[in-house]
Amino acid sequence: MVAIMTTVYVRKRKGANGKMHLYLDYYPPVFNPITRVSRRHESLGMFVYEDPKNQMEKNYNDEMMKLAEAVRCKRSIAVMNNDLGFIEESFADKDFLEFFEYVSRHKDKSWTFSRAYFSKFMNGKCRFKDLTIQLAEDYKMWLINGLYVDPKSEDKRKRKPLNNNTISKYYTIFRAVLRLAYRGKCIRENINEHLENIPLKKTRREFLTVEEIIKLSRTECMYDVLKQAAMFSILTGLRISDIRTLEWKHICEAPDGKPCIRKRIEKTDTEETIFISEQALAYCGERKESGLIFEDLRPGIIDYAVKKWVEAAGIQKKISFHCFRHTYATLLVTQGVDIYTVSRQMTHTNVKTTQVYLHMVDRKGRLAAENTVIDNLI
Protein backbone atom coordinates (compact mmCIF):
# COMPACT_ATOMS: atom_id res chain seq x y z
CA MET A 1 0.00 0.00 0.00
CA VAL A 2 1.45 3.36 -1.09
CA ALA A 3 1.26 6.18 1.48
CA ILE A 4 -0.36 9.40 0.19
CA MET A 5 1.34 12.60 1.28
CA THR A 6 -1.02 15.22 2.68
CA THR A 7 -1.57 18.31 0.55
CA VAL A 8 -2.62 21.64 2.05
CA TYR A 9 -5.02 23.97 0.21
CA VAL A 10 -6.36 27.46 0.92
CA ARG A 11 -10.16 27.36 0.76
CA LYS A 12 -12.94 29.93 1.10
CA ARG A 13 -16.23 29.55 2.95
CA LYS A 14 -19.13 31.95 2.51
CA GLY A 15 -19.85 34.12 5.56
CA ALA A 16 -22.13 37.02 6.41
CA ASN A 17 -22.15 40.53 4.95
CA GLY A 18 -20.53 39.56 1.66
CA LYS A 19 -17.36 38.14 3.27
CA MET A 20 -15.56 34.86 2.57
CA HIS A 21 -13.73 33.18 5.47
CA LEU A 22 -10.34 31.63 4.71
CA TYR A 23 -9.28 28.22 6.01
CA LEU A 24 -6.77 25.49 5.26
CA ASP A 25 -7.91 22.14 3.92
CA TYR A 26 -5.65 19.13 4.68
CA TYR A 27 -6.12 16.12 2.43
CA PRO A 28 -5.75 13.41 3.59
CA PRO A 29 -6.36 14.69 7.16
CA VAL A 30 -3.34 15.17 9.45
CA PHE A 31 -3.02 13.47 12.82
CA ASN A 32 -2.53 15.68 15.87
CA PRO A 33 -0.34 13.78 18.40
CA ILE A 34 -1.49 15.94 21.31
CA THR A 35 -5.27 15.62 20.86
CA ARG A 36 -4.98 12.15 19.21
CA VAL A 37 -7.50 13.34 16.60
CA SER A 38 -7.12 13.68 12.82
CA ARG A 39 -7.74 17.19 11.53
CA ARG A 40 -9.07 18.12 8.07
CA HIS A 41 -9.67 21.89 8.40
CA GLU A 42 -7.91 24.80 10.12
CA SER A 43 -9.47 28.25 10.34
CA LEU A 44 -7.07 31.10 9.53
CA GLY A 45 -9.15 33.79 11.22
CA MET A 46 -9.03 35.86 8.02
CA PHE A 47 -11.59 36.86 5.41
CA VAL A 48 -11.77 38.40 1.94
CA TYR A 49 -14.54 40.30 0.23
CA GLU A 50 -16.69 38.05 -1.98
CA ASP A 51 -17.33 40.87 -4.46
CA PRO A 52 -14.85 43.73 -3.89
CA LYS A 53 -16.51 47.07 -4.62
CA ASN A 54 -13.42 49.24 -5.03
CA GLN A 55 -9.64 49.16 -5.38
CA MET A 56 -9.09 49.28 -1.60
CA GLU A 57 -11.12 46.09 -1.12
CA LYS A 58 -9.28 44.45 -4.03
CA ASN A 59 -5.91 45.36 -2.47
CA TYR A 60 -7.11 44.03 0.88
CA ASN A 61 -8.08 40.73 -0.77
CA ASP A 62 -4.66 40.44 -2.41
CA GLU A 63 -2.87 40.98 0.92
CA MET A 64 -5.04 38.45 2.76
CA MET A 65 -4.49 35.82 0.06
CA LYS A 66 -0.71 36.38 0.25
CA LEU A 67 -0.82 35.93 4.04
CA ALA A 68 -2.96 32.80 3.68
CA GLU A 69 -0.53 31.40 1.11
CA ALA A 70 2.41 32.06 3.45
CA VAL A 71 0.67 30.11 6.23
CA ARG A 72 -0.17 27.33 3.76
CA CYS A 73 3.49 27.03 2.74
CA LYS A 74 4.60 26.85 6.38
CA ARG A 75 2.01 24.15 7.15
CA SER A 76 2.97 22.20 4.03
CA ILE A 77 6.63 22.09 5.14
CA ALA A 78 5.60 20.90 8.62
CA VAL A 79 3.37 18.17 7.14
CA MET A 80 6.09 17.13 4.69
CA ASN A 81 8.66 16.84 7.50
CA ASN A 82 6.33 14.59 9.45
CA ASP A 83 5.48 12.45 6.42
CA LEU A 84 9.18 11.95 5.67
CA GLY A 85 10.07 11.16 9.26
CA PHE A 86 11.57 14.52 10.24
CA ILE A 87 10.61 16.39 13.39
CA GLU A 88 9.89 20.09 13.16
CA GLU A 89 12.33 21.94 15.45
CA SER A 90 9.58 24.01 17.06
CA PHE A 91 7.76 20.79 18.00
CA ALA A 92 10.90 19.23 19.49
CA ASP A 93 10.98 22.12 21.98
CA LYS A 94 7.44 21.46 23.20
CA ASP A 95 6.70 20.21 26.71
CA PHE A 96 6.66 16.41 27.05
CA LEU A 97 5.20 16.67 30.56
CA GLU A 98 2.25 18.62 29.14
CA PHE A 99 1.76 15.83 26.59
CA PHE A 100 2.01 13.23 29.41
CA GLU A 101 -0.65 15.14 31.37
CA TYR A 102 -2.94 15.33 28.34
CA VAL A 103 -2.87 11.61 27.53
CA SER A 104 -3.45 10.82 31.23
CA ARG A 105 -6.67 12.84 31.46
CA HIS A 106 -9.10 9.97 30.91
CA LYS A 107 -6.93 7.24 32.44
CA ASP A 108 -6.92 6.00 36.03
CA LYS A 109 -4.92 7.78 38.73
CA SER A 110 -1.89 5.54 38.18
CA TRP A 111 -1.15 7.59 35.05
CA THR A 112 -1.26 10.83 37.06
CA PHE A 113 1.07 9.35 39.70
CA SER A 114 3.39 8.02 36.99
CA ARG A 115 3.65 11.49 35.46
CA ALA A 116 4.27 13.02 38.90
CA TYR A 117 7.27 10.73 39.52
CA PHE A 118 8.77 11.37 36.08
CA SER A 119 8.27 15.11 36.61
CA LYS A 120 10.11 14.84 39.94
CA PHE A 121 12.94 12.96 38.22
CA MET A 122 13.18 15.73 35.60
CA ASN A 123 12.79 18.58 38.13
CA GLY A 124 9.52 19.58 36.47
CA LYS A 125 10.92 20.25 32.98
CA CYS A 126 11.23 17.95 29.96
CA ARG A 127 11.03 18.75 26.25
CA PHE A 128 10.49 16.13 23.56
CA LYS A 129 14.06 16.56 22.34
CA ASP A 130 15.34 15.73 25.84
CA LEU A 131 13.99 12.18 25.59
CA THR A 132 16.67 9.55 24.93
CA ILE A 133 17.20 5.86 25.64
CA GLN A 134 19.78 6.75 28.28
CA LEU A 135 17.37 9.15 30.00
CA ALA A 136 14.69 6.44 30.12
CA GLU A 137 17.18 3.93 31.57
CA ASP A 138 18.36 6.47 34.16
CA TYR A 139 14.74 7.06 35.17
CA LYS A 140 14.25 3.31 35.54
CA MET A 141 17.24 3.04 37.93
CA TRP A 142 16.02 6.12 39.81
CA LEU A 143 12.74 4.30 40.48
CA ILE A 144 14.36 0.95 41.34
CA ASN A 145 16.84 2.53 43.76
CA GLY A 146 14.15 4.61 45.48
CA LEU A 147 15.95 7.91 44.88
CA TYR A 148 12.61 9.72 45.03
CA VAL A 149 12.35 9.05 48.79
CA ASP A 150 12.35 12.19 50.93
CA PRO A 151 13.37 11.18 54.49
CA LYS A 152 12.56 14.68 55.80
CA SER A 153 9.03 14.81 54.41
CA GLU A 154 6.15 15.34 56.83
CA ASP A 155 4.15 12.86 54.75
CA LYS A 156 5.21 9.41 55.99
CA ARG A 157 4.30 7.88 52.61
CA LYS A 158 7.09 9.92 50.99
CA ARG A 159 9.63 8.73 53.55
CA LYS A 160 9.62 5.15 52.31
CA PRO A 161 10.05 3.60 48.84
CA LEU A 162 7.17 2.29 46.76
CA ASN A 163 6.81 -1.45 46.40
CA ASN A 164 8.31 -3.13 43.35
CA ASN A 165 5.04 -3.76 41.53
CA THR A 166 3.95 -0.14 41.88
CA ILE A 167 7.14 1.24 40.32
CA SER A 168 6.84 -1.44 37.62
CA LYS A 169 3.37 -0.13 36.77
CA TYR A 170 4.51 3.50 36.72
CA TYR A 171 7.41 2.67 34.40
CA THR A 172 5.13 0.67 32.09
CA ILE A 173 2.85 3.72 31.83
CA PHE A 174 5.86 5.93 31.07
CA ARG A 175 6.81 3.56 28.24
CA ALA A 176 3.24 3.69 26.89
CA VAL A 177 3.45 7.50 26.73
CA LEU A 178 6.78 7.26 24.88
CA ARG A 179 5.10 4.93 22.40
CA LEU A 180 2.29 7.45 21.86
CA ALA A 181 4.85 10.24 21.37
CA TYR A 182 6.63 8.21 18.68
CA ARG A 183 3.40 7.24 16.94
CA GLY A 184 2.41 10.90 16.93
CA LYS A 185 5.80 11.80 15.41
CA CYS A 186 6.71 13.93 18.40
CA ILE A 187 10.07 12.13 18.69
CA ARG A 188 12.33 10.74 15.99
CA GLU A 189 13.32 7.46 17.61
CA ASN A 190 11.09 4.70 18.95
CA ILE A 191 12.74 4.78 22.38
CA ASN A 192 10.21 2.38 23.86
CA GLU A 193 11.36 -0.60 21.77
CA HIS A 194 14.82 -0.38 23.37
CA LEU A 195 13.47 -0.52 26.93
CA GLU A 196 12.38 -3.38 29.18
CA ASN A 197 9.81 -3.28 31.95
CA ILE A 198 10.70 -3.60 35.62
CA PRO A 199 9.84 -7.27 36.35
CA LEU A 200 6.84 -7.86 38.59
CA LYS A 201 7.29 -9.83 41.79
CA LYS A 202 4.78 -12.34 43.05
CA THR A 203 3.20 -11.00 46.21
CA ARG A 204 1.30 -12.84 48.90
CA ARG A 205 -2.23 -11.48 49.17
CA GLU A 206 -3.51 -12.35 52.61
CA PHE A 207 -7.21 -13.08 53.07
CA LEU A 208 -9.57 -14.48 55.68
CA THR A 209 -11.35 -17.83 55.57
CA VAL A 210 -15.08 -18.07 56.33
CA GLU A 211 -14.24 -19.41 59.80
CA GLU A 212 -11.92 -16.45 60.46
CA ILE A 213 -14.56 -13.98 59.26
CA ILE A 214 -17.03 -15.45 61.76
CA LYS A 215 -14.38 -15.24 64.52
CA LEU A 216 -13.71 -11.60 63.66
CA SER A 217 -17.43 -10.73 63.61
CA ARG A 218 -17.81 -12.18 67.12
CA THR A 219 -14.79 -10.30 68.50
CA GLU A 220 -15.12 -6.85 69.99
CA CYS A 221 -13.28 -4.03 68.15
CA MET A 222 -12.15 -0.83 69.84
CA TYR A 223 -14.12 1.19 67.26
CA ASP A 224 -17.61 0.09 66.25
CA VAL A 225 -17.48 2.09 63.02
CA LEU A 226 -14.29 0.27 62.00
CA LYS A 227 -15.90 -3.13 62.61
CA GLN A 228 -18.94 -2.12 60.53
CA ALA A 229 -16.73 -0.80 57.70
CA ALA A 230 -14.56 -3.94 57.75
CA MET A 231 -17.52 -6.31 57.51
CA PHE A 232 -18.97 -4.10 54.75
CA SER A 233 -15.68 -4.39 52.82
CA ILE A 234 -15.63 -8.18 53.27
CA LEU A 235 -19.14 -8.35 51.78
CA THR A 236 -18.64 -5.78 48.96
CA GLY A 237 -14.91 -5.62 48.15
CA LEU A 238 -14.94 -1.83 48.44
CA ARG A 239 -11.58 -0.13 49.06
CA ILE A 240 -11.06 1.88 52.24
CA SER A 241 -10.80 5.09 50.17
CA ASP A 242 -14.28 4.48 48.75
CA ILE A 243 -15.77 3.36 52.08
CA ARG A 244 -14.58 6.57 53.77
CA THR A 245 -16.26 8.69 51.05
CA LEU A 246 -19.39 6.54 50.72
CA GLU A 247 -22.57 8.60 51.16
CA TRP A 248 -26.21 7.58 51.50
CA LYS A 249 -26.91 9.03 48.06
CA HIS A 250 -24.60 6.35 46.60
CA ILE A 251 -26.82 3.52 47.88
CA CYS A 252 -29.48 2.97 45.22
CA GLU A 253 -32.02 0.42 44.11
CA ALA A 254 -30.94 -1.72 41.14
CA PRO A 255 -33.40 -2.64 38.33
CA ASP A 256 -34.03 -5.95 40.12
CA GLY A 257 -35.23 -4.06 43.20
CA LYS A 258 -32.18 -4.99 45.28
CA PRO A 259 -29.48 -2.62 46.64
CA CYS A 260 -26.45 -1.43 44.72
CA ILE A 261 -23.77 1.23 44.97
CA ARG A 262 -23.44 3.85 42.25
CA LYS A 263 -20.28 5.82 42.88
CA ARG A 264 -17.19 7.30 41.27
CA ILE A 265 -14.32 5.07 42.36
CA GLU A 266 -11.42 6.97 43.90
CA LYS A 267 -8.56 4.93 42.41
CA THR A 268 -9.79 4.62 38.82
CA ASP A 269 -11.86 7.83 38.69
CA THR A 270 -14.64 5.91 36.90
CA GLU A 271 -18.36 5.74 37.64
CA GLU A 272 -19.26 2.19 38.69
CA THR A 273 -22.33 0.19 39.71
CA ILE A 274 -21.61 -2.45 42.35
CA PHE A 275 -24.32 -4.89 43.40
CA ILE A 276 -24.48 -5.56 47.14
CA SER A 277 -26.44 -7.90 49.39
CA GLU A 278 -28.99 -7.03 52.05
CA GLN A 279 -26.52 -8.44 54.59
CA ALA A 280 -23.88 -5.92 53.46
CA LEU A 281 -26.42 -3.09 53.54
CA ALA A 282 -27.28 -3.94 57.16
CA TYR A 283 -23.74 -2.95 58.20
CA CYS A 284 -24.45 0.61 57.00
CA GLY A 285 -26.87 1.11 59.86
CA GLU A 286 -30.13 3.04 59.78
CA ARG A 287 -30.61 4.98 56.58
CA LYS A 288 -30.32 8.76 56.71
CA GLU A 289 -31.33 11.51 54.30
CA SER A 290 -27.73 12.41 53.41
CA GLY A 291 -24.12 12.45 54.59
CA LEU A 292 -21.33 9.92 55.02
CA ILE A 293 -22.30 6.38 56.02
CA PHE A 294 -19.13 5.68 58.02
CA GLU A 295 -18.59 9.28 59.11
CA ASP A 296 -16.31 8.62 62.10
CA LEU A 297 -13.90 6.37 60.17
CA ARG A 298 -10.68 8.39 60.42
CA PRO A 299 -7.45 7.26 58.66
CA GLY A 300 -5.38 7.52 61.85
CA ILE A 301 -7.36 4.86 63.72
CA ILE A 302 -7.45 2.12 61.09
CA ASP A 303 -4.09 0.28 60.96
CA TYR A 304 -3.48 -0.08 64.70
CA ALA A 305 -7.12 -0.92 65.50
CA VAL A 306 -7.30 -3.62 62.79
CA LYS A 307 -4.08 -5.20 64.07
CA LYS A 308 -5.37 -5.37 67.67
CA TRP A 309 -8.79 -6.61 66.56
CA VAL A 310 -7.30 -9.46 64.50
CA GLU A 311 -5.00 -10.43 67.37
CA ALA A 312 -7.94 -10.46 69.80
CA ALA A 313 -9.80 -12.82 67.45
CA GLY A 314 -6.86 -15.24 67.62
CA ILE A 315 -6.10 -14.98 63.89
CA GLN A 316 -2.41 -15.62 63.17
CA LYS A 317 -2.15 -13.60 59.96
CA LYS A 318 -0.84 -10.18 59.05
CA ILE A 319 -4.13 -8.53 58.12
CA SER A 320 -4.57 -4.96 56.91
CA PHE A 321 -7.87 -3.31 55.99
CA HIS A 322 -7.10 -3.95 52.30
CA CYS A 323 -7.06 -7.70 53.04
CA PHE A 324 -10.83 -7.49 53.59
CA ARG A 325 -11.12 -6.58 49.89
CA HIS A 326 -8.95 -9.60 48.98
CA THR A 327 -11.25 -11.72 51.15
CA TYR A 328 -14.32 -10.64 49.15
CA ALA A 329 -12.68 -11.54 45.83
CA THR A 330 -11.54 -14.89 47.22
CA LEU A 331 -15.07 -15.68 48.43
CA LEU A 332 -16.47 -14.97 44.95
CA VAL A 333 -13.89 -17.17 43.22
CA THR A 334 -14.43 -19.97 45.75
CA GLN A 335 -18.16 -19.88 44.97
CA GLY A 336 -17.42 -20.37 41.27
CA VAL A 337 -18.27 -16.83 40.11
CA ASP A 338 -16.74 -16.23 36.67
CA ILE A 339 -13.63 -14.04 36.45
CA TYR A 340 -15.34 -11.26 34.46
CA THR A 341 -18.09 -10.83 37.06
CA VAL A 342 -15.46 -10.81 39.82
CA SER A 343 -13.49 -8.19 37.90
CA ARG A 344 -16.59 -6.00 37.51
CA GLN A 345 -17.55 -6.30 41.17
CA MET A 346 -13.97 -5.43 42.17
CA THR A 347 -14.04 -2.41 39.79
CA HIS A 348 -10.83 -3.55 38.12
CA THR A 349 -10.02 -1.78 34.86
CA ASN A 350 -8.19 -4.86 33.55
CA VAL A 351 -9.25 -8.48 34.06
CA LYS A 352 -5.56 -9.46 34.37
CA THR A 353 -5.56 -7.76 37.77
CA THR A 354 -8.34 -10.10 38.86
CA GLN A 355 -6.64 -13.28 37.66
CA VAL A 356 -4.31 -13.33 40.68
CA TYR A 357 -7.28 -14.49 42.77
CA LEU A 358 -7.58 -17.61 40.61
CA HIS A 359 -4.13 -18.66 41.83
CA MET A 360 -5.05 -17.88 45.43
CA VAL A 361 -7.98 -20.30 45.23
CA ASP A 362 -6.85 -22.99 42.81
CA ARG A 363 -9.66 -25.51 43.21
CA LYS A 364 -8.40 -27.75 40.40
CA GLY A 365 -4.97 -27.86 42.01
CA ARG A 366 -6.53 -28.81 45.34
CA LEU A 367 -8.64 -31.53 43.67
CA ALA A 368 -5.56 -32.93 41.94
CA ALA A 369 -3.69 -33.02 45.24
CA GLU A 370 -6.58 -34.76 47.05
CA ASN A 371 -6.85 -37.38 44.31
CA THR A 372 -3.14 -38.16 44.35
CA VAL A 373 -3.37 -40.83 47.05
CA ILE A 374 -1.40 -44.07 47.11
CA ASP A 375 -2.93 -46.86 49.16
CA ASN A 376 -1.05 -49.05 51.63
CA LEU A 377 1.84 -46.65 52.23
CA ILE A 378 3.53 -47.01 55.61
Q: How many angstroms separate the Cα of 12 from the Cα of each of 41, 58, 69?
A: 11, 16, 12
114-146 pLDDT, tens digit per residue, is 999 999 999 999 999 999 999 999 999 999 999
Of 197, 201, 138, 195, nearest to 164 by C-alpha is: 201
- Structural domains of the chain in order of their starting residue, each with its CATH number: 7-86 (no CATH), 92-194 (no CATH), 210-365 (1.10.443.10)
Can you tell me the distance from the alpha carbon of 252 to that of 30, in angstroms, rounded to the nearest whole number?
46
The pLDDT value recorded for residue 78 is: 74
62-105 pLDDT, tens digit per residue, is 999 999 999 888 888 777 766 544 444 556 788 999 999 988 88
Can you tell me the distance from the alpha carbon of 268 to that of 272, in angstroms, rounded to the nearest whole number?
10
Of 204, 206, 164, nearest to 322 by C-alpha is: 206
Q: What is the pTM of this model?
A: 0.58
Range 282-287, long-range pairs (CB < 8 A, 24+ positions): 283/228, 283/229, 283/231, 283/232, 283/235, 284/228, 284/232, 284/251, 285/228, 287/248, 287/251
Q: How many angstroms separate the Cα of 147 from the Cα of each of 150, 165, 192, 258?
A: 8, 16, 22, 50
Under 8 Å CB-to-CB from 221, ≥6 apart: which residues? 227, 230, 305, 309
The pLDDT value recorded for residue 195 is: 94
Can you tell me the distance from the alpha carbon of 32 to that of 29, in angstroms, rounded to the nearest whole number?
10
The pLDDT value recorded for residue 4 is: 59
Burial class (CB in 10 A: 0-12, 13-18, 19+), 204: exposed
The pLDDT value recorded for residue 189 is: 87
DSSP-derived pairing of the beta strands 7-14 and 251-253: unpaired
| Beta bridge pairs of residue 95 | 127
Give the count of beta carbons closer than 10 Å to the beta carbon of residue 230. Answer: 30
CA atoms lying within 13 Å on the CB side of residue 219:
22
Can you tell me the distance from the alpha carbon of 58 to that of 51, in angstroms, rounded to the nearest whole number?
9
> Rounded to 10 degrees, what is the CA torsion of 345, 280, 259, 341?
20
For 145, the 3-state DSSP assignment is coil
pLDDT lower than 70: segments of the chain:
1-4, 31-37, 81-91, 359-378
CA atoms lying within 13 Å on the CB side of residue 121:
26
